[in-house]
Amino acid sequence: MAAQNLVHGVLGETCLHLCVDMQRLFAPGGPWAVPWAQKVLPAIEELVALHPQRTLFTRFLPAAGPGDGPGMWAHYYRRWAEVTLAKMDIGLVELMPCLARFVPPAKVLDKHVYSPWMEGRLDAMLTGSGIDSLVVTGAETDVCVLATVLGAIDRGFRVVLVTDAICSSADQTHDALMELYRSRFSEQVEAVSTEEVLKNWHSSASPGRPT
């Protein structure tokens, strides 16, 4: 899917960069390594550096132990017993080092499921903040990024998906999702390049960011 222009105009004070799950879990050598992660990392780092005070990183926290979690999550963590907090190197939940250096002023939101919306903390942070637009980057296109984007659409946010700053471990489903955004969500998702966002996001550390 080719990158497009920002059809709804420039980004400004009411925009937040929501960077999804760029953690050591998904880095080379991690238990859920995403090969593309290193490829998109420079673009993500450049976007964070543009407005670190307007960046929110999400982190996926695995269950405490094998078989923990409600419903099918318990089954999931029996399958992935080695990727639970009791079994793994706890440092793997941390952001990749080149991104962690931006915290603070960037903020971190932990979650236990794919969507950052389900547990209510992201809604609480954004309610009353003045934020109406989200620049979305991170991993994975077809799992946590998908859940993030759909939740944002349902809540009426302007969604800017940065095509060269998202990644998946599966090319086929990444490509399918990018086509889905173009063909079914074209009124609600602007799929653009990092360059397009860098050129068109003019913001300062001013009221409107979540606290």
At 182 the pLDDT is 85
Reduced DSSP (H G I as helix, E B as strand, rest coil) percent helix, strand, coil of the chain, to 5 = 35, 20, 45
Q: Cα separations (Å) of 145 from 53, 69, 90, 207? A: 21, 21, 23, 27
Q: What is the pLDDT of residue 183?
A: 87
Q: Class of the 15-63+91-200 domain?
A: alpha beta
Res 4: pLDDT: 64
CA distance 183 to 194: 21
pLDDT above 70 covers a percentage of the chain that reads 94
Q: Which of 107, 116, 88 is nearest to 26 (CA)?
A: 88
**Helix, strand, or coil (residue 167):** strand
pLDDT tens, position by position, 22-74: 999 999 889 999 999 999 999 999 999 999 999 999 999 999 999 999 999 99
Q: pTM surpassing 0.95?
A: no
pLDDT of residue 204: 59
Buried b (16+ CB within 10 A) or exposed e, 111-127: beebbbbeeeebeebbe
- % of residues, the chain, pLDDT over 90: 87
**What mean pLDDT comes out for the span 124-135?**
96
Q: How confident is the model at residue 205 (pLDDT cuts 50, 70, 90)?
A: very low
11, 201 contact by CB (below 8 A): yes
Q: Is the pLDDT of residue 181 over 90?
A: no
